[in-house]
Structure 1
Amino acid sequence: MSILEQKAFISSIHPFQNLTSDQIDDFVDNLDIAYYKANEIVQEEGSSPEFLFFILKGLIQEKQEDEVLSIYSKNEIFDSISLIENYSKNSFVTTEETICYILPRKIFIEVLHENQELENYFFQSISEKLNNNISHEKNKDMANIMVAKVKDAKIHKAVIIDTEKTIYEAANIIKKEKVPTVLLKDTYEEMYIVTDSDFRQKVILNRMNFDDKVIKIASKGLIFVYEDDFLFNAQLLMAKHGIKRVVVKNEKEEIIGILDQISLSSFFATNTFAVSNQIVKAETVEELKEASLSFIKIIKSLNAKGVKIEFISKLINQLNKKLLDKLYKILAPVELYEKSCLVVMGSEGRGEQILKTDQDNALILADDCTISDEKLNEFTHIFTETLVDFGFPRCQGNIMVSNPYWCRKKSDFKDLIFKWVNEPSGDNFMNIAIFYDAVCVSGDKNLITSLKEYLFKVSSNSQTFYAHFAKVITSFDVPLGFFDGFVFNSKDNKHKNEIDIKKGGIFIIVQGIRSLSLENKIFNANTAKRIRKLLEKGVLEEELAKELTMAFNFLTNLRLKSNLDKLDKKEEIDNYINPNNLNTMEKDLLKDSFKIINKLKKKLEFHFKLNYV
């Protein structure tokens, strides 16, 4: 590598992008290169380390005796902790031929103490490190938006009419097709364009005759782009020619639509406002479906732009609520809508469902609702099937409005809640957890509020109830070994060497915080909001509350990132990640997150005396 390439290489590794130009010069001036054969010990356990290693090629295992704790690969560093402590707790061994840049410990330590940002990173608290990593990862991914294609944006349908049509006929076609633009084609295959603004500025302001031919207000000289062109180039093309729309073709030279400035700007602004408006203005199920298909694009765009996971969750949750509210208003009979409450539960109720997973919903009817069973069953079936068509799969546990168990009158739900609390069982505790996370998305909110109040009342009659409710967390092990090594899935060959971060991390936080919140009669459903309420009530210490929030966000972000990759590869989304696919910093932060979860488990075991139930 040249000196410039060495500088670029060092700066590409977090957090060394924070080095000053003099400091990076010091690094490069003191770098040496080292070659290692396969199965060679690079740094021994118990030794005083001499170098910081930057891997150019190969694979390094960090080992405690025979247990592999971590794996380091190209563009990663090891082992800063050993250098700071001047002691190597573990050994580092190559698994294949490996080439590294090596930086003397003295230079690393000197620069570390000179550079405040570097020092803060290597000595900061776990929660700060988690937060800083999320920001860094988002900024790194921001470049992805620059490679978005024209087909990734909203392309309006291309409506082509002949030049013999009148202005009146063309206006009616625009209204009927719900498009802002029409294209004209004459007998010589010449193309023209007419926009909605042409009707306002040329027809109305000039008081033109509506029976005049529409060709009189059309414009020539169309600019074309291809659906696989970069969206950024389409924007440049519009700016260059001073136009607000381009015509889109596919590889077969067929016109497939029109990209306008509003759609393009909306994409770069994540399209959130446009989709929200689309939901509000929707009058049919098909229009709603079109809006719902934009959600994945919004998530990818927000993620690439550096938006924190909690804000993505909140935004998508709001769009989901709007979507379900509008769908319920479109489909529900009047006598049902005015006397009912549609709720979402589980992760969607908590506002933590980002990518579409299965349905978790219920319908609470007022006791004086008069809808017939036949009409109700017809509606709930249609509602569930419509959501399936929108991309929300059926719930495997059948927790949907189409299941009569989750569609009943308020008084019947009260009887259910009483049974759940007073007849302890795994299913009943699960139903309480699901129902406690419920939030109203449409209809009378008071119906769910009064039922939660009833849940608080009947559950407080038994002091042992909360302990039994929380005990489920003891069934889930945090996948972290005694020597801070990951404990991999060994039973399922499909997920061998992978970790289920929902079972081993996210669920423990959710259920632990849910148990404390139920005991303290907190109405909030969202985990982060529940943590804040528990902090306000003095149930959680400030540092633990901060650590839990950051660990929860880090794990959720890791799962989102993994599942977006799987979506791109047309793979099934799940809760599994392979730690070997993470960089050094992510592995360390994953371990830190698991340590925080273990801390929560110990607190819950003591608080609820779980060893005695």
Structure 2
Amino acid sequence: MPQQFDTRLPPFDRLSDAEQQRLSQSLDIVYFRAGETVINAGSDCQQLYIIIKGNIEEHSDSNSNIPHHDEPHTYAHYANDDLFDVSAQLKGISEHSFTAREDTLCYSLPRQWFVDSYQANPQFAAYFDTNLTTRQALLEEAQQQQNLAEFILTKIDDDNIQPCLLVPATASLLSVTKQMQQQNIDAAFVAMPNRTQEEIPNSATTPHHEQTLRAVNPQYGIVTRTDLLHAIMLDGHDNHTSVATIATAPVISIEKGDYLFNAMLAMTRHKVKRVLVFQQQGEHQQVVGMLDLTQVLSLFSTHSHVLTLRIARAQTIDELALAANSQQTLVETLFNNGIRTLFVMELIATVNEQIIEKAFQLIVPTHLQPHFCFMVMGSEGRGEQILKTDQDNALIIANDTALSFNNNSDNSNTTEHDPHHTSWSQCHAIMQQLTHTLQQLGYPLCPGKVMVNNPHWVQSQHDWLKRIDQLCEQGDPQSLMELAILADSHAVAGQKSLLTPLLERIHQHLSEHEVLLTTFTRPALQFSVPLTLFGNLKASKQGLNIKQGGIFPIVHGVRALALEHHISATNTFTRLQALANQRVLEQSTADNLSEALKLFIKLRLQQQLSQAHDGLHHHIDISQLARVERDLLRHSLHVVKKFKEWLGYRYQIRD
């Protein structure tokens, strides 16, 4: 087998060692000149090809032996790492012709090898299943295995070492307790330089590899808060007793630069929660810090719990900003550790909600908070935001709130001494400050001004209901897009129940008026799917616009269906499952749309984090995608195309 062929790429990573050995014996390299026919339609195809370099066109021709193929038609183009003709391997005959459009180099695999592997290995066969969900699951499983290996190979360095308290053996219990309290730590290491290896019981039985790691270190002991409490309260030790008297020795230690996984193994093997980290300098060891079991485990779980705790404890905007600024790091860690996109989305949605709610609590006067409902909309309202996007928010004010809605008057003469009254100008000032604060926390201003500093998006509950009625009565595209924004509202702070009647009113209007629903759904069909007439990926110089061509048609189409069928959820994935449960969509259709949307969001996030397309957040540079990602993207866009055709038929939308 040529050395360049990488069996780690799906679907060949699903093969057993024996199957990969047979692959190495079967693989060959072939060369086709530009214009040369590789496969004729109707022929008995005996080879599966994998392109190394070049371009192959799949098309019909007038000489085809297949019925209904009289007119020439191009179906797809294949480039580096693409496979063709898979269907012919199973059917025994090629339905289309394949021609080299430039000089092309390919691997070739005998059909018999492919058929044998397909029949013998269900995981290998599943990759070629037309079900998008199955293929995506196999890819994610492979990524999780890879990320587990990366975790095992993570080394102990300054990024994960914790500082530690090191005290002399002669230090008193009182002084050690004070130092631990001042540094807010629950353990201290005790230097015991006179202790030798011979003093350690059973030291000769220590496994050789652990001695190499210096897992058992006789030069140090450890004392915890619990040890100090027991020493004084239960054992009757005096405050001035030396700490060496109660220290547990020896400690378990590990060298800086060793694998983090070895630290976890040492803790497990010795049944301890902390290890000392040292750095070897000649013949001497220098203590550089410590690791504890909770920290090691949290390094694998991305510290998300630490972030939410910091948000909850924030007492000022500056403290909240410090927590909010670490959010992208959390996203990058989750993404790089192979955590599933849906989980990342749910976690970040929760974190965003906590940040915004905390900002609301810090900015809005306490006596007003029960009279306000602060709601977010757009991707944030659906819980589908990963990286921070433009602000999309609004405010509902309870009908009984003593607030003037006349922008020209704040009724200051009659209410200036009422601490529970807030004039319109005061409310506007508060909302201006809240918008500015959210901007400080990393949420950019909305270019369309869909924010609470815009009076259009701050109204009483009564006026909001009137506004919804007006939008439905007008029924023009602009009014219905505003309605679509409101339909994805999610209450995050204040009196959240104020939002419920608004959503119920929207559902009522759209479920009862078919013409209105048709106009509402039409934007889902507005943008073309970025596929060429040949079924290949289509991209401009800026890249493939994944929001217009993939994300928006699914999100808006599913939103229309959810409103028609009284589904209260705002999250697209939840809506899809509810539509499947109500038999509006086939379960397989809902699953494929869900997987397609997850892939679009994942690919967009992947390029945003790499800054490969800085400034073009919704464009995908398809040249940066691996072959399997291009294949899944192409498949997913075909799912979107089919869904749009179904929507057009269902709502009788004609262009």
TM-score (norm 1): 0.80
- What is the match of residue 480 of structure 1? 531
> How far apart, CA to CA, are the structure 1 residues paired with 2:480 and 2:288?
53
Provide the secondary structure at the position in 2 that maps to 1:264. helix
Aligned with 1:89 (options 87, 96, 103): 96
- What is the match of residue 428 of structure 1? 479
> How far apart, CA to CA, are the structure 2 residues paired with 1:332 and 1:154?
38
**Given the superposition, is the C-alpha separation of residues 322 and 51 from structure 1 closer, same or farther in structure 2, using an over 3 Å criterion?**
same
Shift in Å, 1:274: 3.3
**Given the superposition, is the C-alpha separation of residues 288 and 202 from structure 1 closer, same or farther in structure 2, using an over 3 Å criterion?**
farther
> How far apart, CA to CA, are the structure 2 residues paired with 1:256 and 1:362?
51
- What is the match of residue 574 of structure 1? 617
> How far apart, CA to CA, are the structure 2 residues paired with 1:340 and 1:213?
60
> How far apart, CA to CA, are the structure 2 residues paired with 1:393 and 1:160?
46
Aligned with 1:15 (options 1, 11, 20): 11
Is 1:63 paired with 2:108?
no
Task: Give the residue type in structure 1 aligned to 2:594.
Answer: T
Aligned with 1:440 (options 487, 491, 499): 491
1:71/1:580 contact within 8 Å kept: no
**Given the superposition, is the C-alpha separation of residues 441 and 92 from structure 1 closer, same or farther in structure 2, using an over 3 Å criterion?**
farther
Aligned with 1:521 (options 552, 561, 566): 566
Provide the secondary structure at the position in 2 that maps to 1:53. strand
**Given the superposition, is the C-alpha separation of residues 175 and 372 from structure 1 closer, same or farther in structure 2, using an over 3 Å criterion?**
farther
Provide the secondary structure at the position in 2 that maps to 1:393. coil
- What is the match of residue 347 of structure 1? 379
**Given the superposition, is the C-alpha separation of residues 584 and 231 from structure 1 closer, same or farther in structure 2, using an over 3 Å criterion?**
same
**Given the superposition, is the C-alpha separation of residues 158 and 140 from structure 1 closer, same or farther in structure 2, using an over 3 Å criterion?**
closer
Provide the secondary structure at the position in 1 that maps to 2:645. helix
Shift in Å, 1:344: 1.5
Shift in Å, 1:513: 0.8
- What is the match of residue 252 of structure 1? none
- What is the match of residue 43 of structure 1? 38
Shift in Å, 1:602: 1.7
Is 1:403 paired with 2:454?
yes
Provide the secondary structure at the position in 1 that maps to 2:368. helix
> How far apart, CA to CA, are the structure 1 residues paired with 2:467 and 2:244?
68
Provide the secondary structure at the position in 2 that maps to 1:342. strand
> How far apart, CA to CA, are the structure 2 residues paired with 1:42 and 1:146?
49
- What is the match of residue 272 of structure 1? 304
> How far apart, CA to CA, are the structure 2 residues paired with 1:284 and 1:373?
26
Aligned with 1:299 (options 293, 317, 331): 331
Aligned with 2:432 (options 374, 381, 385): 381
**Given the superposition, is the C-alpha separation of residues 384 and 219 from structure 1 closer, same or farther in structure 2, using an over 3 Å criterion?**
farther
Aligned with 1:554 (options 599, 620, 640): 599
Task: Give the residue type in structure 2 aligned to 1:389.
Answer: Q
Shift in Å, 1:266: 0.7
Shift in Å, 1:183: 11
- What is the match of residue 594 of structure 1? 637
2:131/2:592 contact within 8 Å kept: no
1:192/1:222 contact within 8 Å kept: no
Shift in Å, 1:437: 0.5
1:491-506 matches, cutoff 5 A: 493=541, 495=542, 498-506=543-551
Query: After superposition, what is the alpha-carbon deviation per residue over 1:393-449, rounded to whole angstroms, capped at 9, x for unaligned?
Result: 222222222332222321222232222222234432222111110111122221001
> How far apart, CA to CA, are the structure 2 residues paired with 1:371 and 1:431?
28
**Given the superposition, is the C-alpha separation of residues 471 and 222 from structure 1 closer, same or farther in structure 2, using an over 3 Å criterion?**
same
Query: After superposition, what is the alpha-carbon deviation per residue over 1:488-536, rounded to whole angstroms, capped at 9, x for unaligned?
Result: 22xxx4x1xx211111011001001111222223211011211222233
1:82/1:89 contact within 8 Å kept: no
Give the number of aligned pairs: 587
> How far apart, CA to CA, are the structure 2 residues paired with 1:48 and 1:338?
74
Shift in Å, 1:95: 5.3
Query: Between Structure 1 and Structure 2, whose CA radius of gyration is higher?
Result: 2
Structure 2 spans left out of the alignment, 5+ residues: 60-72, 192-219, 280-286, 402-420
2:55/2:103 contact within 8 Å kept: no
> How far apart, CA to CA, are the structure 2 residues paired with 1:256 and 1:416?
64
**Given the superposition, is the C-alpha separation of residues 49 and 580 from structure 1 closer, same or farther in structure 2, using an over 3 Å criterion?**
farther
Aligned with 2:354 (options 322, 337, 356): 322
**Given the superposition, is the C-alpha separation of residues 454 and 542 from structure 1 closer, same or farther in structure 2, using an over 3 Å criterion?**
same
Query: After superposition, what is the alpha-carbon deviation per residue over 1:115-152, rounded to whole angstroms, capped at 9, x for unaligned?
Result: 33333332453443344334444444544445657679
> How far apart, CA to CA, are the structure 2 residues paired with 1:286 and 1:61?
55
- What is the match of residue 244 of structure 1? 274
- What is the match of residue 367 of structure 2? 335
- What is the match of residue 113 of structure 1? 119
Structure 1 spans left out of the alignment, 5+ residues: 186-190, 250-254
- What is the match of residue 578 of structure 2? 533
1:77/1:584 contact within 8 Å kept: no
**Given the superposition, is the C-alpha separation of residues 277 and 77 from structure 1 closer, same or farther in structure 2, using an over 3 Å criterion?**
same
1:115-264 matches, cutoff 5 A: 115-146=121-152, 232=261, 244=274, 260-264=292-296
**Given the superposition, is the C-alpha separation of residues 108 and 336 from structure 1 closer, same or farther in structure 2, using an over 3 Å criterion?**
same
* Segment drifting more, 602-611 vs 21-30: 21-30
Aligned with 1:366 (options 387, 390, 398): 398
1:145/1:301 contact within 8 Å kept: no
> How far apart, CA to CA, are the structure 2 residues paired with 1:10 and 1:230?
28
Shift in Å, 1:177: 7.3
Provide the secondary structure at the position in 2 that maps to 1:611. coil
* Segment drifting more, 291-300 vs 586-595: 291-300
Q: Higher helix fraction: Structure 1 or Structure 2?
A: 1
The sequence identity of aligned pairs, in percent, is 28
Query: After superposition, what is the alpha-carbon deviation per residue over 1:259-295, rounded to whole angstroms, capped at 9, x for unaligned?
Result: 6543332121232333333433444444433433443
Is 1:468 paired with 2:513?
no
> How far apart, CA to CA, are the structure 1 residues paired with 2:247 and 2:423?
56
**Given the superposition, is the C-alpha separation of residues 132 and 31 from structure 1 closer, same or farther in structure 2, using an over 3 Å criterion?**
closer
Task: Give the residue type in structure 2 aligned to 1:420.
Answer: L
> How far apart, CA to CA, are the structure 2 residues paired with 1:368 and 1:282?
32
Aligned with 1:544 (options 580, 589, 607): 589
> How far apart, CA to CA, are the structure 1 residues paired with 2:278 and 2:318?
23
> How far apart, CA to CA, are the structure 1 residues paired with 2:599 and 2:475?
34
- What is the match of residue 188 of structure 1? none
Provide the secondary structure at the position in 2 that maps to 1:609. coil
Provide the secondary structure at the position in 1 that maps to 2:452. coil
1:225/1:234 contact within 8 Å kept: no
Shift in Å, 1:96: 6.5
Task: Give the residue type in structure 1 aligned to 2:363.
Answer: L
1:500/1:575 contact within 8 Å kept: yes
Provide the secondary structure at the position in 2 that maps to 1:440. strand
* Segment drifting more, 595-604 vs 432-441: 595-604
1:360/1:399 contact within 8 Å kept: yes
Shift in Å, 1:210: 8.0
> How far apart, CA to CA, are the structure 2 residues paired with 1:210 and 1:331?
48
2:511/2:565 contact within 8 Å kept: no
> How far apart, CA to CA, are the structure 2 residues paired with 1:208 and 1:393?
60
